[in-house]
Amino acid sequence: MKNLFTLIFILYSAGVLAQNSNKDLNEMHQQIEKNRRSLDSSMTSLDSSIQQAAQFSDSMETARRLESNARNLTGLVDMMQERERKEKQRMWLRIGLGIAFLILGIFGIARRKKSKTTQ
């Protein structure tokens, strides 16, 4: 009999103490939901921070690219102007040499004619 009461008591207490009451269960569910919401808001703020960093990085890259393009275009324009200046210099040199040879030719022809008339 004593063993039977002990066995019944153990089985009863194991059954009663093994299950949480609805109040404890609801509190745990609320705590889990609260933690889940907190985690979701943390993930949202982390995602927005990553997105802002990506936008900043993209804007900096765009600014660098624009600056590089402007620098390259300025260098190209300077190089073209230098080439045009050298071409003009060569053109004037050729024109000057052409005029000098023309004057020498005219002078030579005029001299020849004078020397033929004197003989």
- Domain annotation covers residue 72: yes
Residue 14 pLDDT: 66
Q: Percent of the chain, pLDDT > 70?
A: 87
Q: What is the C-alpha R_g of the chain?
A: 50
Q: Is residue 39 part of a domain?
A: yes
Task: List pLDDT tens digits, range 14-48.
Answer: 666 655 567 777 788 888 888 888 888 888 888 88
- Give tens-digit pLDDT for 63-76: 899 999 999 999 99
Residue 47 falls within a domain, yes or no?
A: yes
pTM: 0.44
Q: Which residues contact 20 (CB under 8 A, 6 or more apart)?
A: 28
The answer as to whether 73 is a domain residue is yes
Q: Which domain holds residue 69?
A: 22-118
Q: What one-character-per-residue DSSP string does 36-89 give?
A: HHHHHHHHHHHHHHHHHHHHHHHHHHHHHHHHHHHHHHHHHHHHHHHHHHHHHH
Whether 8 maps to a domain, the answer reads no
Residue 91 lies in a domain: yes
* Residue 98 covered by a domain: yes
Q: 28: which residues sit within 8 A by CB, 6+ positions away?
A: 20
Residue 13 lies in a domain: no
- Structural domains counted in the chain: 1
Q: What are phi and psi of 19, to 5 degrees?
A: -105, 140
